[in-house]
Amino acid sequence: MSTETTISMFCNSPTSLNRRDPCLEEPATSSPSSLIPLFHNISIDDQRNTITEWRILNQQYDVSYKGLKVPTPIKTFSECNLNPHLLTALANTTPSPIDMATVPLALHQRDVLCSGVTDVAPKARVFILPLLMRILTLPRMSPMMSRSRRPRNTKGGGGGPYAVILVPDRDLGEALHSLIIWFYPILRISVFELYAAAVDMIEGAPVVIATPFRLYDSFVRRLVTLDQCSFVALYQVDQILDSASGSYYLDHIIKKAMPTHYLKPETLGEEFVDGEVYQTTYMICSTITPLVQRLADEFLRSPVLMNLGQPLCPKTDY
C-alpha cells in the first residue's frame, strides 16, 4: 500500500500531521468515563432520528446496519468527546461514511460484525479509529506495564498489550500496520508485529498485530500475556476460519488467552457500570459465512452488524 493511499484514507490535509507541537509529545489520557459513556435508554424521538440518519447513510454511501439500540451516526468529529490529541490528528478532516457509523459505536463499546467486499483501507477504518479511541482512554503504557511476565495479581494488571489485531497473513498485517502507524507523530502509539517467530514482546507497545498461530504460540511459551487486552479486531476473519489451523488457534486464543474480567453484560438490558472498560470485539470479513456467524454468535455480545456496499442478508436476531 502506497503512502499516498494511506494518507488519503485518514486525512484530507496530510500536512496536518507534520505540525509538531511539543505539548503533544506525551499525549495525556482522559478518564474512561469521559470518553466511553455507556449506552443508556434513549427517547422515541432519538430513536426516530437514529433511523433517519442511518437511512441517509445507507442511501448515499451504501453503509447499512442491523442491531438493537444503535446510536445515531455522527456528522463531525467535534461533536464527539474525543481525546484532544486524536482531534488534532484528524484536523481539517470530515468523517468518512464509515467514521460516521463506527465512532458512536466505539463510544458505546459495542461489538461489531462488519462485512463488505472492499479494499483493505475502508474495512480497516471500521476498527482503527475505535482502537485509537480506546487506547487513548487508558493509562499511557510504560515498559514496566507491558512486560509479559509481570505478576498477575490485579484486574488488568498482568501486562501485555491493550489491543490485539489478528490477521490471516503477514501481508495484511503489514498493510494494517502502515495505517495505524501513520498516527504515530502525534499520538505516539506504537505497534508490535508478530508473524514469523516467537519472540518476547516489545516493551511499551499497546497494539499487537499477529497471526493466530504465532500469537497463541507466544502465549503458550509465556512470551506474551493478554491480561490487560480489552480490544480485539479479527481482520478478514472469514479467511482465518477457512483453514483448520486458523480456526483452531483463534478459538484457543479467545477461550484461553483473553482475559475474562473485561467481559460486558450479555444483553443491553443488563446494568453497565459507568466509566468501566469492557471488552470490545470487531469481526471484519468479506462474507458472513456460516463459520463466521457461528463464531459471532458465540463470542460477540449484543453486536451491531454493519455492511459496506451490499445488502445485509444473514439470519440473526441482532
**Segment 101-114, tens digit of pLDDT:** 899 999 889 999 99
**Segment 70-80, tens digit of pLDDT:** 888 888 888 88
Closest CA to 160 of 216, 215, 213, 203: 203
| Greater model confidence, 159 or 125 | 125
Domains of the chain: 42-308 (3.40.50.300)
pTM, two decimal places = 0.79
Average pLDDT of the chain to the nearest whole number: 76
| Per-residue pLDDT at 281 | 94
Distance CA 134, CA 125 (A): 14
**Segment 272-284, tens digit of pLDDT:** 777 788 999 999 9
